[in-house]
Structure 1
Amino acid sequence: MLLTAPDETQVIAREPWIPRRAAVCLLICFCLTWFYTLGARTLVPSDEGRYAEIAREMAATGDFLTPHLNGIKYFGKPPLQAWATALVFSVFGLGEWQARLWTGLCGLAGIAMVYLAGSRLYGKGTGVTAALVLGSSFFWAGAAHVASYDMGLSAMLTCALCAMLIAQRPAASPRARRNWMLGYWAAMALAVLTKGLAGVVLPGMVLVLYTLVSRDWRTWRRLHIAPGLALFLAIAAPWFVLVSLANPEFPAFFFIREHVGRFTSDVHSREAPWHYFLPLLIVGITPWFGVLAQSLRHGVRVRAAGFDPGRFLVVWAVAIFVFFSLSNAKLPAYILPMFPALALLVARYLDSASPRATIVAAAPVALLGAAALVVLWFAPAWIDNAPASTPVRRGQVYWITGAAVLLALGGAAAAWLARRARTWALTVLAAAGFLAGQALMLGHESLGRDKAGVAYLAAIRSEITPQTPIYAVGQYEYALPFYLGRTLTMVHRAEDAMLLDLERRPHLWIARLDTFVATWEAQRARGIKAIAFVRPDIHADLQRRGVPMRVIGQDARRVIVTNDVTAQRP
């Protein structure tokens, strides 16, 4: 039997939240940790290096209309994040935290919006719980510390859909409803400028499906479509018009290949089975996975008169999950926009349930941490027998152990506090989840540095001048161009999104390896030093050919060589 809640704005009587002074101290500690970890890791290829380099080139050239990667037109994504990051670079200089500042702020914006939505719909306590849930969820907090476009899209969608929730609540005045709905249209426009048509398709899909499920057709009369659409076009349309006029090839590439092709085919080699996102959902919502199913069921069962925010949240979460599960192209961050809805559902359930629900949330986290510690007890023996990369793996174990300890102790403490001080129990569980997630992110640094190749920066800088030609042979280096502040000449292979411009301007790359070898040897003969990042198998082939090369750096991903073979190091 379905339960009903005539007025969802009614707040269930709960104990007061933690004291204001303690809450302020915790908020300050949270923000300090949040912003510190933005710059605590190397930019990891490919996404972080790619998007940081696009913004660097935008800031360096002053061309804010046509994004470029490695000096080549890049039409894979709209420019909002590149604009913001380029401005940050112009003010604060280049660096890791600068490259991630936009995504970090977007993550905080999403947390703030679920707090506002939860507070307006269910009361301040639920708003705080929703913010705790989202801010501590592994996936949301982790994605906010990665310089990728997925967090920007998710934050804008969160602002849009939370604005709709606030606008459509029965207690909203006509003026408040209009203003929040205009915010909905503006946020959708920013989502489109962040990652294209997904910014309007996803919230539109949620609205249509909610209408069909709830049969609440009156919502459409409260959308303020005419002024909203005008605002949407005023924000989103100008760049698309101007970039299309300046680059006639843009519309077909961006709208057909990057949108229709991405969803309907495996054009980007990202195919995965339909259940690909199920384990990612469980990991992503940690430390709240213990009450995920109950929260979804509660959102469906407890109904409200008129506009039903609980049902809207369930449709929001489920529709995005199913939509991307049906897509041929799958990446972990595609389901990120569903986590704000889950945070609100979890908060709504926990704040309407008995303390036992908090125990159900905390106990599995404690067990997960304890199980991880048992596994890690045997990890040194496994690492000692590992054939390669032992230092990297051992370095990671310490961070994973720290995360496991946080989860075990935090989960146990939250379960113990659940019947004594429920609000402190939720706070402790959120703190444990947030800190454990950040520890795991920091533990990835050793692998990130290896993948980015930053250990070779000093050796490379000692060999080059601003005029030194630098080549990427067989693969593009996504992080090193940003750290060097240089573009590369690509040889033999280029990223798919660059091919459109390269086909029109073939002088920007060297298509054939034989042509590169001839250029390399000619430069050496004229006394022009050159550097090349070479794919290991191609380096072996060049060695067999007798091509003059001096190795200045080498690992499993790349061999860094110079044609100045006379300047051998002692």
Structure 2
Amino acid sequence: MKSNSPYDSPRTLWIIALAFLAVWFYMLGARTLVPTDEGRYAEMAREMLATGDWITLRLNGIKYFEKPPLQNWMNALTFAVFGLGDWQARLWTGLNGLLGVAAVAYTGSKVFSGRVGITAALVLGSSFYWAGMGHVNSLDMGLSGMMTLSLCGLLVAQSADKDSKTERNAMLVCWLGMALATMSKGLIGFVLPGAVLVIYTVVTRDLRLWTRLHMGKGLVLFFAVTAPWFILIALKNPEHPKFFFIHEHFDRFTSNVHKRGGAWYYFFPILILGAIPWIGILLQGLVAGLRDNGPGFQPRKVLFIWVVFLFFFFSVSGSKLPGYILPIFPALALLIAWRVEQAGNQPLKSAGILLSLAGITGLLILTIYLKKMDDNTDPIDIALALNYAPWLVGTCTISIVGGLFAWFLSHKEKAGKDWAVITLAVAGFLAGQIAFLGHDPWGKYIAGSNYIPAIEAELTQPNTPIYAVGRYEQALPFYLQRTTILVEFPDEMQFGLEHEPQLWIPKREDFIVKWQAHQDKGEPAIAILRNDIYEILKKSNFPMRIIAKDPRRVIVANLVKKESK
């Protein structure tokens, strides 16, 4: 009897995949780079390409040792091939997001079944947080893509026959994933997967797995990938090892040195929001992993431990940022997919209803927010909110309609269940991308990118200085293809400036003297001022004229007459 399931139709699956890829790649360049992360990592890669120094990482021309170089390398290579631009800056993270989707599809089909593989890809590709962060130029998706390689490599290897070619190759993929994760964001790239492995063996009391890790070949591969850069940067910059290994790892985890703390429940709302449209099956998937007590290797238990341990690790850390828990979503996708395949239609009914309720809740929150705006609200915020509102209404409407349609389909037989999965995935993915696309005017305001033409009009000479007084703009240097001179505010570059103090102006008084010297010599100069500093300078005879102003910044030029370029 011919199956009516879309899972059994290669044509249907190809149509879904190609449409998904078209939207995914289009969205890479659909928005302005938003500070801080997007501007920072785009600029670091631009400077790497411009200077030709692929060892010592710099931000704004200043040594910046917080993270390893993999993402900067890949972004710089992308710029070298395709030129500078928004989609080029996001290409590496976009590819990592797709890598995660492909990895869970392959792993689900190899470890569980082909149907689980298809569902896992649909779940991960449409999860709000994974699909969203796949379009953000930050280190979290690069780390997550590589950690997904390590997780999936381990699952495939340990599910294969002992001493088989599949076992060996998959374990080498696991080791490679840990190495590249280490080169993406540091020691957590291998510490976290290693901790999961230890916890699994303690819980299951099964040490046989350790005889199948191909540790000799794996360690050689790991250090071949990671060691060269760490050695080279330490030789060129003796201050790097202590800062990187102690300050950026031990101090970051055990203290609030970066002032990024948060309550113990910090990541719970992020997890719930990030799992949309699959929140109705989230707990069921985790329970399914906990109950994996079969003989031999227990892949669902590995997935459960991966999710719970990583979530706990970052929850107790002294440093918290929303992107930290992103690596748990591929494991969640596999658990949810397994649960969907094993259960009846009830989980999908719950997911459909909860997606619709999420849409309704979103509309209520939006209405309350808009009603709270009054005469004391900044006009720019009002304009941006009103501009964004129709996009959010569209997001919520798609969620409501998609959830109800999925609920309706889940009442039908086998094919209805599969179509319900696809409907949830399509609705969740499109709703999230519409929300991201509509945010662009707000992103341009945060980045200050609307002022680029006005600034460029003042750059009449190649060496025209741009001062950043009391604030640092993370995106403008990339778009202007120029570094700035920091004044009074070192921002995150404080460590680098301690070793290269000549690269900034610590005191505002020295900046004023420098600015006046430009004026007296007839040299054009530009300054991006914090608003309160502008108000102070305005009360003096500081020679300046405004070229752009908003509640976040004031951009001024001196009074030197502009010359045509």
The alignment's TM-score, normalised by the length of structure 1, stands at 0.95
Which residue of the other structure, out of 182, 185, 194, is the alignment partner of 1:195?
Answer: 185
SS in 2 for 1:303: coil
Q: Residues 479-532 of structure 1: CA distance to partner in whole angstroms, max 9, x if unpaired?
A: 000000001111111123x22332222221111110000000011000001000
Moved more, 487-496 or 225-234: 487-496
Match of 1:296 among 272, 286, 294: 286
3-state SS in 1 of match to 2:277 = coil
* Preserved CA contact (<8 Å) 2:6 2:12: no
Alignment of 1:74-85 (within 5 A): 74-85=64-75
Secondary structure of the residue aligned to 2:471 is coil
Identity of aligned pairs, percent? 50
Give the deviation of 1:418 after TM superposition: 1.1
SS of the aligned residue for 2:7 comes to coil
Which of 90, 94, 97 pairs up with 2:80?
90
CA contact (8 A) 1:548 1:565 kept: no
Match of 1:542 among 522, 537, 549: 537
How far has the Cα of 1:18 moved from its partner? 5.0
1:417 and 2:409 aligned: yes
- Deviation at 1:319? 0.2
Structure 1: how far apart are the matches of 2:361 and 2:491?
42
Does structure 2 retain, via aligned residues, the 8 Å contact 1:383–1:393? no
| Cα shift readout 1:440-459 (whole Å, capped 9, x = no counterpart) | 11122121111100111111
Letter in 2 for 1:219: L
Question: Are 2:292 and 2:298, in contact at CA under 8 Å, matched by a contact in 1?
Answer: no
Equivalent residue number for residue 476 of structure 1: 472
1:349-404 Cα shifts (integer Å, max 9, x gaps): 01000112211121111122134335546665445767221110011111111110
Other structure's SS at 2:137 match:
coil
1:398 counterpart letter in structure 2 = P
Q: Distance in 1 between matches of 2:48 and 2:119?
A: 40
- SS of the equivalent of 1:103 reads helix
Equivalents in 1 of 2:369, 2:239: separation in Å?
Answer: 53
Q: Deviations over 1:329-358 (max 9, x none)?
A: 111111111111111000000100011221
Q: CA deviation at 1:216?
A: 1.3
Query: Which residue of 376, 395, 412 corresponds with 1:403?
Result: 395
- After superposition, the C-alpha distances for 1:133-163 in whole angstroms (9 at most, x for unaligned) are 1111111111110000000001100100110
Q: State the match for 2:447 in structure 1.
A: 452
Quick one: distance in 2 between partners of 1:120 and 1:558? Answer: 54
Cα separation, 2, equivalents of 1:185 and 1:270: 31
The Cα offsets for residues 298-356 of structure 1, whole Å up to 9 and x where unpaired, read as 11124321110011100000000000111111111111111111110000001000112
Aligned letter for 1:424?
Answer: W
SS in 2 for 1:305: coil
- Counterpart Cα distance in 2 of 1:330 and 1:468: 39
| Residue of structure 2 equivalent to 1:467 | 463
Q: CA RMSD in A?
A: 1.7
Distance 1:447 1:312, change over 3 A: same
CA distance in structure 2 between the partners assigned to 1:405 and 1:500 by the alignment:
48
Paired AA for residue 196 in structure 2: V
Alignment-derived partner of residue 496 in structure 2: 501
The answer to whether structure 1 residue 394 and structure 2 residue 386 are counterparts is yes
CA shift for structure 1 position 79: 0.6
Residue 559 of structure 1 pairs with residue 547 of structure 2:
no
CA displacement 1:404-425 (0-9 Å, x = unmatched): 0111111111111113211111
- Report the counterpart of residue 336 of structure 2 in structure 1: 346
Residue 314 (structure 2) pairs with residue 324 (structure 1)? yes
Give yes or no for the alignment of 1:519 onto 2:514: yes
Match of 2:157, as an amino acid?
A
Q: Is contact 1:287-1:430 (8 Å) kept?
A: yes
Partner SS, residue 555 of structure 2: strand
**Cα gap change, 1:18/1:394 in structure 2, threshold over 3 Å: closer, same or farther?**
farther
TM-score by length of 2: 0.95
Partner of 1:215: 205
8 A contact 2:5–2:419 mirrored in 1: no
Partner secondary structure for residue 295 of structure 1? helix
* 1:474–1:534 Cα contact (<8 Å) kept: yes
Q: What code does the residue aligned with 1:207 have?
A: L
Equivalent position of 2:224 in the other structure: 234
Q: CA deviation at 1:91?
A: 1.0
Q: In structure 2, list runs of 5 or more residues that go unmatched.
A: none
Deviations, residues 212-245 of structure 1 (Å, cap 9, x unaligned): 1111111111111111101100011110001101
When residues 456 and 15 of structure 1 are mapped into structure 2, their CA distance, relative to the original with a 3 A threshold, is closer
- Is the 1:37–1:145 contact (alpha carbons within 8 Å) kept by the matching residues of 2? yes
Structure 1 unaligned segments of length 5 or more: list them: 1-12
- The one-letter code sitting in structure 1 at the alignment partner of 2:355 is V
Tell me, yes or no, if the aligned pair for 2:523 and 2:560 is still in contact at 8 Å: no
CA 460–331 in structure 1, closer or farther in 2 if over 3 Å, else same: same
Q: Does 1:427 align with 2:422?
A: yes
Which amino acid in the other structure matches residue 411 of structure 1?
Answer: G
After the TM superposition, which residues 107-186 of structure 1 pair with which residues of structure 2 at under 5 Å, given as runs? 107-171=97-161, 174-186=164-176
- Closer/same/farther in 2, CA of residues 172 and 515 from structure 1, 3 Å limit: same
CA distance in 1 between partners of 2:193 and 2:497 (Å)? 35
Q: Match of 1:307, SS? A: coil
CA contact (8 A) 1:154 1:336 kept: yes
Secondary structure of the structure 2 residue equivalent to 1:78: coil
Map 1:37-116 → 2, pairs under 5 A:
37-116=27-106
Which whole-Å CA distance do the structure 2 matches of 1:458 and 1:250 have between them? 38
